[in-house]
Structure 1
Amino acid sequence: MTFSDTIGIGLLAWLLVGAQPALAAEPAGHVHTEAGHYPKETAAAQAAYVDSEPPLWDNLGTLSYKITTSNARAQQFFDQGLRLAYAFNHLEAQRAFRMAQKLDPKCAMCFWGEALVLGPNINAPMETSAVGPAWSAISQAKTLAKHASPREKALIEALSKRYAKDPKADRKRLDQAYAAEMGKLAKRFPKDEDIATLYAESLMDLSPWDYWADQGRKPKGNTAEIVKVLETVLANSPDHPGAIHYYIHMMEASDRPERAEPHAERLAGLMPGAGHLVHMPGHLYYRLGRYRDALEANRAAIEADEAYLKETGAKGIYAQGYYPHNVHFLMVSAQMAGDGKTALAAAGKLGKVLSDETVRAVPWIQPVKAAPYFAHAQFGPPETVLKLADPGSEFPYVQAMWRYARGVAAAAKGAPRDARAELDALTGIAKTADLSGLTEAGVPAADILRIAQEVLSGRIAQAEGDLATAASTFEKAAALQEKLPYMEPPYWYYPVRRSVGALRFLQGDPAGAEREFDASLRAAPNDAWALWALAEVYRKQGKDSAAADAERRLAKTRADRGEPVRMERL
């Protein structure tokens, strides 16, 4: 599993997807998530939190799975745990299942639920520290199964295949055994939408984020089965939050992400208190070029998460990973929508919520720590960008992107000599820095830094009036970018093909510019700045009807506070 597989989310945020190697075991004391891989809080603090009494929230929807219990509150907390499991807040789900156990100590499914959320998921492998608690929980569920229904007994027996007492047991074999059992249950109970959804998830866990080949055109492994199962669930239960969540993840890297669009539009309203589910439609919206909608989805997700974190004081993966992922996604959505004010505000926030301690523990999330410099390079006044504090040399990738932003600002200011000094510093980092902490995790750091060098070189040539060199340099950067693996948000913050188009226009070649902007918009549909440029190109060629159409598209995607654009800035 590579960095591009995570965080769909994404990293962190890739709470932040290429040919991906198998997921390796994570170092003890860390968690790899869609939003990144983050140091955990102390075991004692986490244990105390899980054992504390949670509230019953009224903003997590109505999904319910009837279990054998005579205690109404135990049923309520079980339902809350299952909802939170589908929302990838596994620690909070464990807390709910633990509360249900206290209310009904004979509830077998309450222990099943705790065992479920202690296992692996598409964003995190199973930690060694979770093996004992998971084994204990599923063992207790089996002991109590005499009180359970036949369906519950079958679920408990299936989940027991996923765990072993020995922490060194073959995790791949265990996960395959669990998926096989869930497949049998899905056939045995064909009308049980939760069994089907859990079956689909069990298959997803066998190859996290590695579902498509040939640029999303060809399903890999179990992908066709997963998609079929989830589409069947959604045909029967269109408001199932877990099925929608997983379906978005299945389709976002495919060549037909729009298949999940109608489902994504319903998701946020189903569980408005679950920030990650409020955020998830943003994945689809970003892929489809609905940047304003992606922006608003992530703004709402941030509000939901901040309310939850303020109320609970929860730490760990959710606070350190999924929540910052939303901030990152808000920033990049604003960038593509042309909303500089929002992008810069989110950049400032992301710098605060993603601590140096986290980056120190997990070097390969440096791209997220560095991402705010892209917003500054795109929207910040040059004088302001040049005053940004030096982040220091501890994180070389971050230092490199600080240099990049300064170089872009200097070039925009008409100081190509200063910009070249920043390029030299950036090139030095690319040549000498130890980036193994990124590359070993699958981050194509060298390629990204090369793109940064080429783009900055193009800006310098542009500032010097050498448009031919600028155009050819941007062309090199665009070619490099187009070879990067899929990531959402993308590894590079804008389609460089857009810059090629701008240079063609400035060179007096509107037809060539049109071709480049069309190509850019195929890669990043409805990019606000590319649409603005395309309208200008059409107008230059006397294609007034096409220009009006581009402007209509721009009005739909561009943020209300869209920044003024000049061709030279693209």
Structure 2
Amino acid sequence: MSALPAPCLATATNPRGWRRQPLLQGGLQLGLVLGLSLQLAASTAPPSESLATASAPRLLGFGDATQRRIVSSSPLAQAWFNQGLQQAFAFDEIEARRAFSAALAADPRCSMCAWGLAWQHGPSYNSRVRGDLGEARRYARLAQQLSLAHREAPLERALAEAMLERLQEGDVAKLPAATLAVLEACGPDTTESRQVHPLDRVFERRMRILSEMFPKDPELLAWWAEALFVIHPEPSGLDALWAGLSSRLLQGVALHPQHTGLIHYLSHAADSSADAPRAINAVQNLQHLAPASPHLQHMSSHLLVKLGRYAEAVQANQRGLAAQAQLDRQLQTQGFTAGINWNPHNQRFLWIAAQLGGDLKTSLAMAEQLAAEAPDGEWGDFLRGLPWLTLVHFERWRDILARPKSDGVSPPLLAHARGLARLRLGLLADARADVALLEHHLDEESRSSQERKPARVAFATLLLAPLQAEQAWSRGDAPAALATLREALRLEADMSPSEPPLWAASAQRGLGQMLLRTRERAAAIAAFEADLQAFPANQAARVGLAAAQALPR
């Protein structure tokens, strides 16, 4: 395929005044062209919302140093754009849209203000499913139309056309030749790529090229990182890719140590690589750079849990909860409704971190709060069972049996906690009904045709396995007890990881505890060491490892 021309980008000016690196040959081959407007231009319908009356709350403390100079003669539009940028990098699309709308109202000719709205109405790291993109497409068309008038800003035009290209409608096979050329350069069609919309793959390649052309531009690097996360939401099997992104982001943060977008994406990239120790200091700096952001206050806890620094992870989420309360008050004071509420995510992370750190008081208090605030439905039934799971984790067997039953708790989860407590206290006959209920639940999940059946079957097995192992142990069949727990360990490994973990239980730890009882020193040590590799320095595994090492050789 012949190279496609890129005449405007080849002479693009850098809006930050840095010396631009030579245009990469790969960029020429991929044809990052500004001629796309000839193929993508369409009648620009006015956005559905009234921009003339658009308003937004004034919000400070979300990364005020994160700013980008745009083509606009309005200082107000520039200020609102910067606020939208900060909110977008804090993953608050509601506040980002408000700010970008206010920016466009202040300067209706601002291409990047319209681009920001297209960006925040389109696919993102937390919303990768391409649903109704009508609003995003309208703003992308507006941004592209406005960019044509700014001949002195070819980079803004390139961004506008890349966004409009991403949001095209129709049959992929009928896309413009320039788009198909980039899609072909993205590599062969694979099982993974077929799960991603081809135009998101094209957009990622466009952002990568722009970030390589302007390597000192922090927003371009951040936008490429997000585009990459959209097409590769799971790091499994992509360790080299994630490590490469993490290294690029570390370099970007070294140049721009106060850029909240770069640091935020670094926290996600390093969470999936071996770079957590190198990234943690920069990520922890978010607490000072964005003190008002509930999400950015929390973000360091992802890496802190990976590093076994659980008390600090608890504190990070406590800061996030306090920031959410302050943000809600600030919005109310300015006459705006509350937007995104990060409390459920931060609360669950706090609960998990406290458990892994061995802090019963904090973990149980947060579990009780989550249970009290749980919504209706299956997920709420699970959350209402968190106090029971907490007591299981800390092996508070008598507290479990003394705890009154409450409505709305998942019956299998309740049977898991009460049945295990009865078995560990030697109340074998009393536990039979709990075991029977869990066996019936597993049978139902195995026969169902529900979505995510393998994960549901695995979870049902993990609830039942410890009870079956205890029953086997009570009748003197240690090999059967160990076999049951090893099968549970296999199923746990097959479950998709969640962030935070669904619960702090570990089949690996349960196996280690049973090996302690069978006095198999080497195998017990190996089991606890494996658990510590997954969750460094977690208190339960540390205690188990010490007990295993004390066994006679």
TM range (shorter): 0.7 to 0.9
- C-alpha distance in 2, partners of 1:434/1:484? 15
- C-alpha distance in 1, partners of 2:105/2:446? 50
| Aligned CA distance change for structure 1 residues 227 and 510 (closer, same or farther; 3 Å) | closer
**SS of corresponding position for 2:115:** helix
- C-alpha distance in 2, partners of 1:94/1:502? 52
- C-alpha distance in 1, partners of 2:157/2:386? 48
- C-alpha distance in 2, partners of 1:96/1:407? 53
The residue that corresponds to 1:293 in the other structure is 312
> Among residues 205, 215, 218, which one is paired with 2:230 in the alignment?
205
Given that 2:521 and 2:552 are in contact with CA atoms closer than 8 Å, whether structure 1 keeps it comes out as: yes
- C-alpha distance in 2, partners of 1:383/1:195? 54
Query: In the TM superposition, what is the alpha-carbon distance from 1:450 to its structure 2 partner?
Result: 0.8
The residue that corresponds to 1:106 in the other structure is 109
- AA at the equivalent of 1:212: S
Give yes or no for the alignment of 1:82 onto 2:85. Answer: yes
Give yes or no for the alignment of 1:191 onto 2:203. Answer: no
- C-alpha distance in 2, partners of 1:52/1:518? 55
After TM superposition, the structure 1 stretch with the greater mean CA deviation from structure 2, 271-280 or 452-461, is: 452-461
Per-residue deviation, residues 83-123 of structure 1 (Å, max 9, x unmatched): 11111111111111112222222222111111111111122
Query: In the TM superposition, what is the alpha-carbon distance from 1:176 to its structure 2 partner?
Result: 2.5
- C-alpha distance in 1, partners of 2:515/2:103? 65
The residue that corresponds to 2:162 in the other structure is 158
Given that 1:253 and 1:486 are in contact with CA atoms closer than 8 Å, whether structure 2 keeps it comes out as: no
Whose radius of gyration is greater, 1 or 2?
2
Give yes or no for the alignment of 1:528 onto 2:539. Answer: yes
Given that 2:63 and 2:258 are in contact with CA atoms closer than 8 Å, whether structure 1 keeps it comes out as: no
- C-alpha distance in 2, partners of 1:299/1:140? 41
| Aligned CA distance change for structure 1 residues 141 and 515 (closer, same or farther; 3 Å) | closer
Per-residue deviation, residues 186-228 of structure 1 (Å, max 9, x unmatched): 233232111122122212212222x331xx7x43xx5465345
Query: In the TM superposition, what is the alpha-carbon distance from 1:178 to its structure 2 partner?
Result: 2.0
- C-alpha distance in 2, partners of 1:236/1:286? 27
- C-alpha distance in 2, partners of 1:105/1:173? 32
> Among residues 87, 92, 95, which one is paired with 1:92 in the alignment?
95
Give yes or no for the alignment of 1:339 onto 2:351. Answer: no
Aligned residues with identical type, % of pairs: 29
Alignment of 1:365-380 (within 5 A): 371-379=386-394
**SS of corresponding position for 1:128:** coil
Alignment of 1:176-187 (within 5 A): 176-187=201-212
**Structure 2 regions of 5+ residues with no counterpart?**
1-47, 176-195
**SS of corresponding position for 1:343:** helix
Equivalences, count: 477
Alignment of 1:416-455 (within 5 A): 416-433=428-445, 440-441=451-452, 444-455=455-466
Per-residue deviation, residues 300-348 of structure 1 (Å, max 9, x unmatched): 11221232234436889832xx431111111111111111111111112
**SS of corresponding position for 1:205:** helix
> Among residues 73, 86, 98, which one is paired with 2:76 in the alignment?
73
- C-alpha distance in 1, partners of 2:117/2:134? 12
| Aligned CA distance change for structure 1 residues 194 and 59 (closer, same or farther; 3 Å) | closer
| Aligned CA distance change for structure 1 residues 70 and 388 (closer, same or farther; 3 Å) | farther
The residue that corresponds to 2:61 in the other structure is 58
| Aligned CA distance change for structure 1 residues 352 and 60 (closer, same or farther; 3 Å) | farther
- C-alpha distance in 2, partners of 1:483/1:517? 19
The residue that corresponds to 1:132 in the other structure is 134
> Among residues 265, 277, 281, which one is paired with 1:246 in the alignment?
265
The residue that corresponds to 1:5 in the other structure is none
The residue that corresponds to 1:562 in the other structure is none
Give yes or no for the alignment of 1:518 onto 2:535. Answer: no
**SS of corresponding position for 1:161:** helix
The residue that corresponds to 1:559 in the other structure is none
- C-alpha distance in 1, partners of 2:251/2:531? 36
Given that 2:242 and 2:273 are in contact with CA atoms closer than 8 Å, whether structure 1 keeps it comes out as: no
Query: In the TM superposition, what is the alpha-carbon distance from 1:126 to its structure 2 partner?
Result: 4.7
> Among residues 153, 167, 182, which one is paired with 1:149 in the alignment?
153
- C-alpha distance in 2, partners of 1:65/1:240? 11
> Among residues 421, 429, 434, which one is paired with 1:409 in the alignment?
421
> Among residues 336, 341, 345, which one is paired with 1:325 in the alignment?
345
- AA at the equivalent of 1:337: G
Q: How well do the aligned residues superpose, as a CA RMSD in angstroms? A: 3.4
| Aligned CA distance change for structure 1 residues 371 and 272 (closer, same or farther; 3 Å) | same
- C-alpha distance in 1, partners of 2:123/2:448? 26
After TM superposition, the structure 1 stretch with the greater mean CA deviation from structure 2, 417-426 or 171-180, is: 171-180
The residue that corresponds to 2:36 in the other structure is none
- AA at the equivalent of 1:53: A
Per-residue deviation, residues 4-23 of structure 1 (Å, max 9, x unmatched): xxxxxxxxxxxxxxxxxxxx
TM-score by length of 1: 0.74
After TM superposition, the structure 1 stretch with the greater mean CA deviation from structure 2, 250-259 or 73-82, is: 250-259
- C-alpha distance in 1, partners of 2:397/2:361? 12
The residue that corresponds to 1:232 in the other structure is 251
- C-alpha distance in 1, partners of 2:528/2:138? 58
**SS of corresponding position for 2:197:** helix
**SS of corresponding position for 1:88:** coil
- C-alpha distance in 1, partners of 2:60/2:90? 14
**SS of corresponding position for 2:285:** helix
- C-alpha distance in 2, partners of 1:514/1:126? 44
Query: In the TM superposition, what is the alpha-carbon distance from 1:271 to its structure 2 partner?
Result: 1.2
Query: In the TM superposition, what is the alpha-carbon distance from 1:53 to its structure 2 partner?
Result: 2.8
Given that 1:481 and 1:492 are in contact with CA atoms closer than 8 Å, whether structure 2 keeps it comes out as: no
- C-alpha distance in 1, partners of 2:110/2:270? 36
Query: In the TM superposition, what is the alpha-carbon distance from 1:67 to its structure 2 partner?
Result: 1.4
| Aligned CA distance change for structure 1 residues 523 and 125 (closer, same or farther; 3 Å) | closer
- C-alpha distance in 1, partners of 2:199/2:451? 26
The residue that corresponds to 1:7 in the other structure is none
Query: In the TM superposition, what is the alpha-carbon distance from 1:286 to its structure 2 partner?
Result: 1.3
TM-score by length of 2: 0.76
The residue that corresponds to 1:552 in the other structure is none
After TM superposition, the structure 1 stretch with the greater mean CA deviation from structure 2, 532-541 or 192-201, is: 532-541
The residue that corresponds to 2:331 in the other structure is 312
- C-alpha distance in 1, partners of 2:431/2:502? 23
- C-alpha distance in 1, partners of 2:78/2:438? 58
| Aligned CA distance change for structure 1 residues 442 and 413 (closer, same or farther; 3 Å) | same
> Among residues 266, 272, 279, which one is paired with 2:298 in the alignment?
279
Query: In the TM superposition, what is the alpha-carbon distance from 1:62 to its structure 2 partner?
Result: 1.7
| Aligned CA distance change for structure 1 residues 124 and 465 (closer, same or farther; 3 Å) | same
Given that 1:412 and 1:463 are in contact with CA atoms closer than 8 Å, whether structure 2 keeps it comes out as: no
Given that 2:317 and 2:347 are in contact with CA atoms closer than 8 Å, whether structure 1 keeps it comes out as: yes
Given that 1:390 and 1:402 are in contact with CA atoms closer than 8 Å, whether structure 2 keeps it comes out as: no
**Structure 1 regions of 5+ residues with no counterpart?**
1-43, 393-397, 543-570
Query: In the TM superposition, what is the alpha-carbon distance from 1:72 to its structure 2 partner?
Result: 2.7
